[in-house]
Amino acid sequence: MGTVSINNLWNFIQGLSLTAGDRKWLAGKLLEPSNADVAVSDETTENVGGYIISPKRRKLMGSVTIDPKDIESDERLKYILSK
């Protein structure tokens, strides 16, 4: 996030009427690591077709198997796949 964006965010936060408890909660949220930070720091990400895919997402993508028998009675899915 750029300096200007952070300054705008700070100005917005200052304009809110936050209680002491709200400020404490916000401070705690700012100190928590985000999921994106954790996923990127675990292993290097992979760039596929212009998209950055984390190793965790890549593993999930390969874990799904679809049995045609399970979906043959789903009319909405048949419609979507026919397009």
Contacts of 78 (CB under 8 A, 6+ apart): 71, 72
CA angle 17–19–25, rounded 5-degree value = 110
pLDDT score, position 59: 81
Residue pLDDT, tens place only, 39-48: 554 455 666 6
Average pLDDT over residues 40-61: 70
pLDDT score, position 47: 64
pLDDT score, position 52: 81
Q: Which residue has the higher pLDDT, 55 or 43?
A: 55
Average pLDDT over residues 14-20: 87
